[in-house]
């Protein structure tokens, strides 16, 4: 792997809150050699804009592609406040953006004839590079009458349904809203959380919607469809969702302890006690981006907590497992009550309403805030994988300050990328070919992690889950579980950002004027929307040998 911090002002030095590649997740759509090589890159930030970029990469000779230059293509500026999340539908045709103004904008790429027609009719203006707002989703007056509290609130996350007919939003008013994309109506609403909802994911098999909130819980909703007798002639064929039924609420469970006093930190299964599973409102992030695997077999949930052994040196805790007021929720040293973790639930655990996680990934230095699966399926390379699936999946976890790669065959990480940014990470996305991960941060910069996919094995065709149900009972190979210890770091570790004082930008390392970039005095240059090539200021790079 190779990691590079791309030092340009992506959003006028404002935080970058979300990032996504444009690419299709449909079967075999990415096999064409000419398909969108790396995928067009979209970013969203605190300047109220969505921006479109093209990454120009060059081969390194080591099986990876390094970002050489970046083309700024356009800026989409119809949001009124900061944009917190952007996501493409599964075909890569419609971009959904949402943020603090409480509305979801659906963008479509339009041809020249359509653009002229829209201008003549006075419709939504067409932004740079031909992107125009196709729909605005805010909930109609009738919708709002049925919503406790009503009105539009800040949106932190969203997720598309598998058929791209619906999308669900997670809001600051503690609610979830399901919108019909074609009609623009809010067709389902849920308000069972007691605090901001900061993450939501739609089950790829279209059975569940799962949300995560600041109230330290994840809610699992079953999607109830209308009976045929309930569908009248006035009901469109796409308005089939009746309601979201709360199936389970997970916030506490009995878990083993981490023995901090042992010579090598390990999980002690001999003593278990019920405690909170997730961070509270002190988490230094606006986002808890949980996700389900592309096959629907696994749910991966960030911001997890696992308690230290009660005999370990620690700050006092209450008997119910809640941290004391003196406890620092993000500190994972021996003096802390908790360690950061990521929890994984199998589909069987979700179906059976089991509140206990199926898998725990412990020993994170900082809280995990986002998870993303590679769109590529790989052949199994182990006869006894940790998660017994007929294929291998790869996923990346973004903590406050690291990106950690795992696959479903091992419990230990494949690679750790550290110190990419000075401030917390906010989002991450895989390229359509699965050979690059882009990461965004509140420091206003983004980073690229180039991957030689040969390390994951041979690609295999994505299985079809349309007419078949994924195997719900997944075997977990847990030999000598009581001896699960902290990894010995035999995996790759990439650390590209040395601790140093900030220095002025070298005037010899200039960037063209197509986006806001720092000059020699640190002042912003004038932002221009015309597409020009940006030469990247390469600060430091470290390659894996």
103-153 pLDDT tens trace: 999 999 987 666 565 555 555 555 556 899 999 998 654 454 455 545 679
Strands 377-378 and 459-460: antiparallel
Strand duo 291-292 + 266-276: pairing? unpaired
Task: Please report the DSSP string for 257-286 in residue order.
Answer: EEETTSSS-EEEEEEEEEEE-B--TT-S-S
Phi and psi dihedrals of 455, rounded to 5? -70, -20
Is residue 521 within 8 Å of residue 505, measured between CB atoms? no
CATH numeric code, 2-543: 2.130.10.10
Residue found by looking up tokens 């356009």 in the block:
74
Q: Return the DSSP state at 453.
A: G
**Can you tell me whether residue 483 is helix, strand or coil?**
helix
Using the predicted structure, report yes or no on whether residue 532 has a pLDDT greater than 80.
no
350: phi then psi, degrees, rounded to nearest 5: -65, -45
Instruction: Pick from 224-238, 252-266, 431-445 the range whose average pLDDT is largest.
Output: 431-445
Q: Categorise residue 319: left if φ over 0, alpha if ψ from -120 to 50, beta otherwise.
A: alpha
Of 277, 219, 274, 223, give the one whose Cα is nearest residue 248: 219
How high does pLDDT run on average in the chain? 79
pLDDT tens track for 172-189: 999 999 999 999 999 999
Please name which of 355, 320, 381, 462 lies closest in space to residue 28, comparing C-alpha atoms: 462
pLDDT band per the 50, 70, 90 thresholds, residue 541:
very low
Q: Does 512 have pLDDT greater than 70?
A: no
Instruction: Return d(Cα 338, Cα 175) in angstroms, integer.
Output: 29
Number of CB atoms found within 10 A of residue 487's CB? 14
Compare 163 and 112 and report the one with higher pLDDT: 163
What's the whole-number mean pLDDT along residues 255-277?
A: 70
**Closest by alpha carbon to 419, among 287, 539, 279?**
539
Q: What is the pLDDT of residue 463?
A: 82
SS3 145: helix
pLDDT at 212: 98
Among 310, 412, 403, smallest CA distance to 365 is for 403
In the predicted structure, residue 311 carries a pLDDT above the cut 80: no
Place 309 in a pLDDT band, splitting at 50, 70 and 90.
low
Name residues whose C-beta falls within 8 Å of residue 33's C-beta, 6 or more positions apart in sequence: none
What is the pLDDT at residue 18?
98
| Res. 43: pLDDT tops 60 | yes
Task: Provide the 3-class DSSP secondary structure of residue 386.
Answer: coil
User: Could you tell me whether strands 538-543 and 104-109 are parallel, antiparallel, or unpaired per DSSP bridges?
Assistant: unpaired
- Better pLDDT: 536 or 211: 211
Torsion-angle region of residue 80: left (phi > 0), alpha (psi -120 to 50) or beta?
alpha
> What's the pLDDT score for residue 60?
79
What ranges do the domains of the chain cover? 2-543
Q: Which residue has the higher pLDDT, 69 or 229?
A: 69
Residue whose entry in the numeric block shows the structure tokens 């919108």: 179
pLDDT band for position 500 (50/70/90)?
Answer: very low
State the virtual CA torsion across 257, 262, 266, 268 in degrees, nearest 10: -40
Residue 221 has pLDDT above 50, yes or no: yes
Q: Which of 506, 510, 516, 429 is nearest to 14 (CA)?
A: 516
pLDDT at 337: 77
Residue 374 contacts residue 393 (beta carbons within 8 Å): yes
Q: What is the Cα–Cα distance from 513 to 543, expressed in whole angstroms?
A: 30
User: Buried b / exposed e across 389-398, counting CB within 10 Å, b at 16+?
Assistant: bebbbbbbbb
Measure the CA–CA gap between 531 and 92, rounded to whole angstroms: 22
Residue 119: CB atoms within 10 A of its CB come to 12
Q: How many CB atoms lie within 10 A of CB 347?
A: 25
Q: CA 282 to CA 124: how far, in whole Å? A: 40
State how far the alpha carbon of 199 is from the alpha carbons of 185, 215, 499, in Å: 21, 12, 32
């Amino acid at each position: 792997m190779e990691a590079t911090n791309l030092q340009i002002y992506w959003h006028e030095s404002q935080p970058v809150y979300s990032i996504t590649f444009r690419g299709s997740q449909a079967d075999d759509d990415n096999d064409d050699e000419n398909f969108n090589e790396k995928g067009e890159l979209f970013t969203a930030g605190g300047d109220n804009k969505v921006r479109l970029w093209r990454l120009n990469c060059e081969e390194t000779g080591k099986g990876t592609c390094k970002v050489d230059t970046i083309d700024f293509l356009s800026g989409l500026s119809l949001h009124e406040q900061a944009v917190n999340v952007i996501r493409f539908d599964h075909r890569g045709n419609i971009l959904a953006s949402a943020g603090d103004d409480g509305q979801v904008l659906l963008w479509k790429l339009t041809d020249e004839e359509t653009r002229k027609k829209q201008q003549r009719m006075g419709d939504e203006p067409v932004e740079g590079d031909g992107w125009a707002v196709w729909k605005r989703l805010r909930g109609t007056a009738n919708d709002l009458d049925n919503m406790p509290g009503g009105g539009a609130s800040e949106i932190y996350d969203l997720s598309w349904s598998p058929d791209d007919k619906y999308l669900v939003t997670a809001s600051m008013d503690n609610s979830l809203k399901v919108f019909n994309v074609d009609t623009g109506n809010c067709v389902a609403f849920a308000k069972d959380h007691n605090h901001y909802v900061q993450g939501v994911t739609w089950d790829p098999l279209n059975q569940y919607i799962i949300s995560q909130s600041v109230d330290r819980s994840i809610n699992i909703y079953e999607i109830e469809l209308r009976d045929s007798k309930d569908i009248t002639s006035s009901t469109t064929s796409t308005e089939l969702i009746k309601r979201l039924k709360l199936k389970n609420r997970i916030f506490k469970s009995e878990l083993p302890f981490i023995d901090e006093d042992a010579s090598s930190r390990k999980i002690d299964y001999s003593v278990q006690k019920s405690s909170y599973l997730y961070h509270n409102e002190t988490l230094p992030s606006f986002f808890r981006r949980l996700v389900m695997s592309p096959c629907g077999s696994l749910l991966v949930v960030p911001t997890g907590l696992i308690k230290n052994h009660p005999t370990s040196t620690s700050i006092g805790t209450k008997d119910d497992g809640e941290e004391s007021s003196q406890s620092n929720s993000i500190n994972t040293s021996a003096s802390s009550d908790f360690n950061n973790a990521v929890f994984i639930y199998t589909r069987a655990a979700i179906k059976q309403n089991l509140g206990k996680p199926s898998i725990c990934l412990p020993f994170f230095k900082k809280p995990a805030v986002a998870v993303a699966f590679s769109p590529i399926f790989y052949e199994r390379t182990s006869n006894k994988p940790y998660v017994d699936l007929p294929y291998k999946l790869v996923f990346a976890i973004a903590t406050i300050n690291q990106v950690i790669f795992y696959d479903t065959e091992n419990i230990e990480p494949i690679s750790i990328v550290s110190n990419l940014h000075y401030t917390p990470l906010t989002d991450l996305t895989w390229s359509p070919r699965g050979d690059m991960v882009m990461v965004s941060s509140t420091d206003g910069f983004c980073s690229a992690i180039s991957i030689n996919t040969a390390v994951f094995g041979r690609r295999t065709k994505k299985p079809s889950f349309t007419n078949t149900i994924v195997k719900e009972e997944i075997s977990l190979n847990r030999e000598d579980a009581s001896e699960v210890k902290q990894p010995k770091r035999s995996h790759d570790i990439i650390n590209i950002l040395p601790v140093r004082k900030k220095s002025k930008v070298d005037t010899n390392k200039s960037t063209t004027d197509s986006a806001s970039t720092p000059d020699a005095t640190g002042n912003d240059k004038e932002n221009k929307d015309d597409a020009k090539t940006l030469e990247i200021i390469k600060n430091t790079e470290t390659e894996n040998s």
